[in-house]
């Protein structure tokens, strides 16, 4: 009887151990499965966030097509973009979003890349409307050995938006180069260049070896005594030209009727329709870009 009781107790103990072992195995399996499902859910969540980040980068790149690359951090992730011109009106944008980063060599990053072709409508302004070498609100005074080859249209009313087909704000925001109170003989001046004169007296070009092209807008007074420019100079202020500069294209001076535009010394100002036409090629459009093609890599 005593022997049977001991055997019975041993069996019960073994059975308890087996039940505990089964429960432990089930618990471990359940925990492992839960952890796996949680990881899958987190990966899926991060993948969705990476796609949203890539789309956020794409939206920003579309809004600023003139910038070749952009990057930003948003919450727990980030994005990087590259914009490449594939024609005069179309751009290829590659935007990569990642959580927490966009480095594809890092296994801890969940990355998504989208590619899009965006078309910016061409500006429909007509350069044939520019027919004078110098156009000014006030008087244009030419003296000394200054040479102006082309018409001078002074005391004339003209409108920036009518000539370029876009507002000054759009021109400024689309500038390839933007300067505030720059030093003399700044470079580069190509494509569209916008200069704000805030705390200095004026914008100055003095070096005969200086070159510039495209559309140069000076928001302030300007003095040009050297260099060679090809394209359109628009001065929202007064303009003084002297020394030996060469300007091919056209000049507009928006100074008001009470201020003179002076061309003196030995400068040469040539009306050049080809340089004007080339300058117009840089003009953006006021119309918003449109998405032509989009795909996720």
Q: Is residue 270 part of a domain?
A: yes
> Of the segments 113-127, 163-177, 229-243, which one has the largest average pLDDT value?
229-243
Domain check: are 111 and 133 in the same one?
no
Domain check: are 271 and 251 in the same one?
yes
Q: Is residue 286 part of a domain?
A: no
Domain check: are 109 and 246 in the same one?
no
Domain check: are 146 and 85 in the same one?
no
Reported as a single tens digit per residue, the pLDDT across 35-57 is: 666 665 667 888 899 999 999 99
Domain check: are 111 and 199 in the same one?
no
Q: Is residue 6 part of a domain?
A: no
Reported as a single tens digit per residue, the pLDDT across 95-111 is: 999 999 999 899 889 99
Residue 100: Cβ within 10 Å count:
17
Last residue within a domain, chosen from 92, 120, 148 = 120
Q: Is residue 289 part of a domain?
A: no
Q: Is residue 34 part of a domain?
A: yes
Quick one: pLDDT band at residue 288, thresholds 50, 70, 90?
confident
pLDDT for 22 beyond 90? no
Bridge-based pairing state of the strands 110-119 and 90-99? antiparallel
Q: For 97-234, where are the alpha helices, taking DSSP H only?
A: 160-164, 168-173
Q: For the chain, where are the alpha helices, taking DSSP H only?
A: 2-63, 160-164, 168-173, 273-280
Last residue within a domain, chosen from 74, 101, 120 = 120
Domain check: are 276 and 164 in the same one?
yes
Q: Which residues does residue 204 pair with via DSSP β-bridges, in sequence order?
A: 223
Return the residue matching tokens 């093609």: 293
Domain check: are 161 and 276 in the same one?
yes
> What's the whole-model pTM score?
0.67
Average pLDDT over residues 285-292: 86
Domain check: are 172 and 55 in the same one?
no
Q: Is residue 135 part of a domain?
A: yes
CA angle centred on 267, ends 266 and 268, rounded to 5°: 125
Q: Strands of 77-85's sheet, edge to edge?
A: 69-74, 77-85, 90-99, 110-119, 290-296
**296: CB partners within 8 A, 6+ apart:** 51, 54, 112, 113, 114
Q: Is residue 240 part of a domain?
A: yes
Number of domains forming the structure of the chain: 2
pLDDT score recorded for residue 59? 95
Domain check: are 210 and 266 in the same one?
yes
Reported as a single tens digit per residue, the pLDDT across 137-183 is: 999 999 999 999 999 999 999 999 999 999 999 899 889 999 999 99
Domain check: are 133 and 234 in the same one?
yes
Q: Is residue 252 part of a domain?
A: yes
Domain span holding position 142: 127-280
Domain check: are 33 and 159 in the same one?
no
Last residue within a domain, chosen from 64, 94, 120 = 120
Domain check: are 53 and 135 in the same one?
no
């Amino acid at each position: 009887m005593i022997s049977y009781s001991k055997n019975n107790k041993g069996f019960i103990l073994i059975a308890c151990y087996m039940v505990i072992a089964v429960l432990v195995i089930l618990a471990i399996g359940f925990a492992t499965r839960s952890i796996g499902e949680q990881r899958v859910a987190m990966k899926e969540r991060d993948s969705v966030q990476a796609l949203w980040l890539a789309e956020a980068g794409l939206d920003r790149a579309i809004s600023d097509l003139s910038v070749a690359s952009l990057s930003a951090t948003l919450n727990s992730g980030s994005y990087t973009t590259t914009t490449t011109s594939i024609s005069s009106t179309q751009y290829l944008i590659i935007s990569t979003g990642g959580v927490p980063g966009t480095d594809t060599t890092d296994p801890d990053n969940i990355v998504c890349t989208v590619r899009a072709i965006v078309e910016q409508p061409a500006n429909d302004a007509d350069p044939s409307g520019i027919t004078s070498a110098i156009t000014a609100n006030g008087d244009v005074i030419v003296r000394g050995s200054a040479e102006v080859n082309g018409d001078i249209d002074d005391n004339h009313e003209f409108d920036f938006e009518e000539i370029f087909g876009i507002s000054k704000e759009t021109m400024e925001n689309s500038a390839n180069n933007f300067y505030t109170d720059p030093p003399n003989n700044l470079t580069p001046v190509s494509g569209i260049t916008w200069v704000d004169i805030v705390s200095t007296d004026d914008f100055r070009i003095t070096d005969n070896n200086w070159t510039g092209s495209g559309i140069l807008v000076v928001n302030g007074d300007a003095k040009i005594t050297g260099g060679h420019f090809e394209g359109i100079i628009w001065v929202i202020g007064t303009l003084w030209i002297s020394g030996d500069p060469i300007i091919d294209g056209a000049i507009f001076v928006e100074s008001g009727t009470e201020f003179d535009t002076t061309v003196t010394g030995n400068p040469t100002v040539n009306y050049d329709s080809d340089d004007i036409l080339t300058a117009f090629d840089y003009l953006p459009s006021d119309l918003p870009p449109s998405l032509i093609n989009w795909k996720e890599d």
